[in-house]
Amino acid sequence: MANTKKKKVLTEVKQLIMITIGALVAGFGLELFLVPNDILDGGVIGLSIIASKIFGVPMSIFLIILNIPFLILGYRKMGTKFTLHTLYGVLVLSAFTTYLHHFDPITDDLFLATIIGAVILGTGVGLVIRTGGALDGTEILAILVSKKRPVSVGQLVMIMNVFIFILAALLVFSWETAMYSIITYYIAFKMIDIVVEGMEELKSVTIISDVPDELADELNRVLGRGITFIHGEGAYTKEPKKIIYTIVSRIELSTLREITLDLDPGALIAIENIADVTGGNFETSTGH
């Protein structure tokens, strides 16, 4: 019992450390690259930058104020732990952007600021999301709305951000910086995917073969991956089938295909993308 409690405390401490690092990294990208060059990100961060320009109040204040309604809205659906992690991340981000606001930007080149700032921001946000929190309440709203409407979370976030970028162009910035902001959003979005899902693409492979035992032994010997048999039945022949299921990296895929077709040229190979794997002989959720 004591060990279980200790593990939970250690896990929570590790998560808070990762959220802190993520929020600090995101704040670095915002205040030293994007904000001084009038480049937006999407969501609450983008709205906070616009509001700061209009009212002359520090962006950090709006980061907290604008996120609160979304946190209240998502509290019951997302859970206490996620909500508290998100609130903590937003507070750290707000405090760090306030501190960095007094420093000069690293570059005033719009192109460099857009690319580097977006990569840094996306990395920070991705770390927070991977740990079990968020820095932007609009994604909570998108998740809740998507459950009741036939649109994806990504589509809803994109629609909201399009309005934010148009608002920025009309009220405070130029169309040029609004277009740079779209590039920023896209790069940050991709960086979040890389951090959350990993750089190494994993594939789940299903193989229907006439020599499943021999094939499984050879795949296990060469690739060192766990092989699972799924017991099925041919719909036409009614004969029992051993279906091979395994997970490999993108690099290993060609070897798997070569081994399979060498042992059974008529084998059926079905391949699907996988975003995350935990356990087995994968040491992390992003690689092996």
What does each C-alpha distance from 27 to 90, 126, 154 come to in angstroms? 10, 13, 23
pLDDT in the model for residue 155: 65
Work out the number of other CB atoms within 10 angstroms of the CB of residue 62.
21
Q: Binning pLDDT at 50, 70 and 90, where does residue 42 land? A: confident
pLDDT in the model for residue 285: 37
- DSSP conformation letters of 188-229: HHHHHHHHHH-SSPEEEEEEE-S-HHHHHHHHHHHH----EE
Q: Binning pLDDT at 50, 70 and 90, where does residue 286 land? A: very low
pLDDT per residue as tens digits for the range 51-94: 988 898 889 999 999 999 888 877 777 778 888 999 999 999 99
pLDDT in the model for residue 143: 65
Higher pLDDT among residues 4 and 268, named by residue: 268
Rounded to 5°, the CA angle 56-61-62 comes to 80
What does each C-alpha distance from 19 to 24, 74, 87, 199 come to in angstroms? 9, 19, 10, 20
Q: Which residues, in sequence order, are CB contacts of 206 under 8 Å at separation 6+?
A: 230, 243, 244, 245, 269, 270, 272
Q: Which of 156, 19, 40, 143 is nearest to 92 (CA)?
A: 19
> How far apart are alpha carbons 288 and 285 in whole angstroms?
8
pLDDT in the model for residue 3: 75
User: Over the range 217-255, which residues count as b (16 or more CB within 10 Å of their CB) and which as e?
Assistant: ebbeeebebebeeeeeeeeeeeeeebbbebbbbeebbee
pLDDT in the model for residue 284: 40
Q: Binning pLDDT at 50, 70 and 90, where does residue 230 land? A: very high
pLDDT in the model for residue 251: 72
- Least confident residue range of 46-60, 137-151, 157-171, 214-228: 137-151
Cβ-count burial of 85 within 10 angstroms (0-12 exposed, 13-18 middle, 19+ buried)?
A: buried
pLDDT in the model for residue 160: 79
pLDDT per residue as tens digits for the range 92-117: 999 999 999 889 999 989 999 999 99
What does each C-alpha distance from 98 to 20, 39, 61, 78, 95 come to in angstroms? 15, 17, 9, 28, 5
pLDDT in the model for residue 80: 84
pLDDT in the model for residue 288: 36
Looking at residue 22, its amino acid is G
Tell whether the model's pLDDT for residue 191 goes beyond 70: yes
Mean pLDDT, residues 30-39: 91
- What stretches of 41-174 show up as alpha helix (H) in DSSP? 43-55, 59-78, 80-100, 110-131, 138-146, 153-171
Mean pLDDT, residues 129-134: 84
Backbone angles phi, psi at 272, to 5 degrees: -135, 150
Give the whole-number percent of the chain exceeding pLDDT 90.
Answer: 36
Mean pLDDT, residues 262-274: 90
Residues facing 287 on adjacent strands: 284
Mean pLDDT of the chain: 84
Looking at residue 245, its amino acid is Y
Q: Which of 268, 138, 155, 122 is nearest to 205 (CA)?
A: 268
Higher pLDDT among residues 99 and 173, named by residue: 99
